[in-house]
């Protein structure tokens, strides 16, 4: 996640793990320094404070997240709208799972309406929403009523964040790199199958999916 500075990378990884386990308020700068095997002065030098470290970690997370999304969009220019959406969902779940602990921590903070984290993420979340909305609506063009699309988009967003809000539900299934990769494959397919079902049958049209 953090490039070309091993010490800084160690601090971010240590902080992500501790924030995930103990929360932001429950983690001290000394805890982070001990876990990262660096001096407290190094953390102060790189980030000024624990809050500065959090701001850097969350900002860096979303910068790389959006870069991953935009790279996927560029690489899928020749695909159909449905294939583009499938590629986008795979990229999103893959990124979140590759940065699992920080993904869970950020989603938890957002669900608790942490003002500080929300202020950091608001622009990134707006851009994420723009891409999701565009590609989802393009993929469903003509298949569902326009007023129904917004409800379905809300469901899609829920599926994309659920594993990182309810991460305790998955803790026995996701252990080690292989199970993370398997989770990405299986969970992405479930979302893609849901989209395929909507796209094939339509909702809010003459051919309705039964609830």
User: Does pLDDT of 211 surpass 60?
Assistant: no
So what's the pLDDT on residue 54?
95
Buried b (16+ CB within 10 A) or exposed e, 150-166: eebbeebeeebbebbee
Is residue 116 situated within a structural domain?
yes
Residue 70, pLDDT > 80, answer: yes
Q: What is the pLDDT of residue 208?
A: 45
Burial label for 102, CB within 10 Å (0-12, 13-18, 19+), is buried
Is position 49 within any domain?
no
Over range 55-81, report the average pLDDT: 96
Distance CA 82, CA 197 (A): 12
Q: Is the pLDDT of residue 4 over 70?
A: no
Q: What pLDDT shows up at residue 167? A: 75
* pLDDT band per the 50, 70, 90 thresholds, residue 62: very high
3-state DSSP percent of the chain in helix, strand and coil, to 5: 75, 0, 20
Whole-number Å distance between alpha carbons of 158 and 166? 11
- What pLDDT score does 173 carry? 58
Q: Is residue 156 part of a domain?
A: yes
Show the tokens assigned to 188.
């992405």
Q: What is the pLDDT of residue 209?
A: 42
pTM (2 decimals)? 0.87
User: Would you say residue 14 has pLDDT above 60?
Assistant: yes
SS (H, E, C) 170-205: CCCCCCHHHHHHHHHHHHHHHHHHHHHHHHHHCECC
Band (pLDDT 50/70/90 cuts) for residue 210 is very low
Q: Determine, yes or no, domain membership for 111.
A: yes
Whole-number mean pLDDT of the chain?
A: 88
Instruction: Please count the other Cβ atoms lying within 10 Å of the Cβ belonging to residue 172.
Output: 8
Separation of alpha carbons 92 and 107, rounded Å: 14
In a domain, 210, yes or no: no
Give the pLDDT confidence score for residue 206 in this predicted structure: 44
Tell me what pLDDT residue 148 has.
Answer: 87
Residue 75 backbone dihedrals phi, psi, to 5 degrees: -75, -15
Backbone angles phi, psi at 118, to 5 degrees: -65, -40
**Cβ-Cβ contacts under 8 Å for 76 (sequence gap 6 or more):** 83, 84, 87, 88
Mean pLDDT, to the nearest integer, of 28-42? 93
pLDDT score recorded for residue 175 = 61
pLDDT tens-digit map of 71-127: 999 999 999 999 999 999 999 999 999 999 999 999 999 988 889 999 999 999 999
pLDDT the model gives residue 178? 67
Flag whether 40 is in a domain.
no
Q: Is residue 171's pLDDT more than 80?
A: no
pLDDT one-digit tens code per residue, 132-150: 999 999 998 877 777 788 9
Determine, yes or no, domain membership for 209.
Answer: no
Instruction: Please count the structural domains in the chain.
Output: 1
Q: Is residue 41 part of a domain?
A: no
Residue 172's domain spans which residues?
A: 57-201
CATH of the domain at 185: 1.10.357.10
């Amino acid at each position: 996640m953090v490039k070309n500075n091993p010490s800084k990378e160690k601090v971010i990884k240590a902080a992500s793990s501790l924030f995930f386990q103990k929360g932001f308020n429950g983690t001290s700068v000394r805890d982070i320094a001990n876990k990262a095997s660096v001096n407290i002065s190094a953390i102060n030098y790189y980030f000024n404070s624990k809050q500065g470290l959090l701001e850097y970690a969350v900002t860096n997370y979303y910068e790389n997240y959006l870069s991953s999304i935009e790279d996927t969009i560029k690489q899928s220019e020749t695909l159909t709208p449905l294939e583009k959406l499938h590629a986008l969902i795979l990229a999103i779940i893959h990124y979140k799972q590759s940065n699992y602990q920080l993904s869970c921590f950020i989603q938890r903070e957002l669900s608790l309406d942490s003002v500080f984290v929300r202020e950091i993420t608001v622009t990134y979340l707006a851009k994420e929403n723009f891409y999701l909305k565009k590609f989802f609506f393009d993929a469903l063009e003509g298949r569902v009523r326009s007023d129904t699309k917004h409800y379905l988009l809300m469901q899609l967003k829920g599926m994309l964040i659920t594993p990182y809000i309810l991460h305790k539900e998955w803790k026995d299934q996701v252990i080690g790199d292989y199970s993370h990769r398997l989770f990405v494959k299986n969970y992405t397919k479930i979302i893609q199958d849901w989209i395929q079902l909507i796209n094939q049958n339509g909702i809010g049209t003459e051919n309705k999916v039964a609830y």
